[in-house]
Amino acid sequence: MRAYVRIKKPVSWSDSTNNLHNGWATPFMAIGWIWAWVAYFISKSTVLQVLEYARSLGVVVAVALYFYESGDRIKQKHYQAWEVINSAQGKGGNGGRIEALQELGADRVSLVGIDVSGAFLQGARLEKAHLARSRFTDADVRNGVFASSDMSDADLTSANFRECNCAHVSFRAAVLDHADFWGADLTGADLTGATLANTDLSGADLRDIEWRQIKSVKMANILGMKNAPPGFESWALRNGAVQIPSESR
């Protein structure tokens, strides 16, 4: 928006009074004519032009500073998120950790080695997150989304992953003992070197999982599992897996 407007040059006094038929209106006409000329000269003032240029420059500087400081603002946001996570470590409940984790995950910040043991994180969305060597012991992350995340070497002992989206997650060498994956989507998950002793896989979708180098499935419940790869069920039962209703375990 411009700070000044060019005003058309007013007509002369004689031209402005040509059609004036009432003499009593002359003083009012004169006042209007004088102010028209005042406005005209002000509109031509270079001072206003300078003020407009200064205002435009101020906008440019403000925009430049905004982008220049954006890195610091992002760092501050990440620092605050880590403060929330670290201050709640070892405690139950949410404590703002869902939002903090999702914020860091969305910015592709590494969450390697993070400890959220015992946390209440139902519905957390951590797609493509870097969660290697993380600790989810006793955490409740039901209905969470971890699709395509790296959870290799993670400790998920007794964690609740019911109905989670764990499609294409890397669980290489992870500990899933006593974890609950009832109804979870494990499509394409890599379980190479993982331990699943007493893990509940009932109702889970196991389509295209990497399973041939699983370390242990002793007492893992595979009742009602879906889309298991050829040979998996017989192998699991031979190695101690069971098929019993979850409520009876």
Q: Which domains does the chain have, with CATH numbers?
A: 18-68 (no CATH), 69-249 (2.160.20)
Helix, strand, or coil here: 125? Answer: strand
Q: At residue 215, does pLDDT exceed 70?
A: yes
**What pLDDT score does 178 carry?**
98
Tell me, what's the pLDDT at 183? 97
Residue 1 predicted with pLDDT over 50: no
In eight-state DSSP terms, residue 221 is B
Answer whether residue 150 shows pLDDT above 60. Answer: yes
Summarised one tens digit per residue, pLDDT across range 27-57 is 666 677 676 767 766 666 555 555 565 566 5
The share of the chain scoring above pLDDT 90, in percent, equals 58
Mean pLDDT of 149-153: 98
Q: Is 96 exposed, middle or buried (0-12, 13-18, 19+ CB in 10 A)?
A: middle
pLDDT of the residue at 203: 96
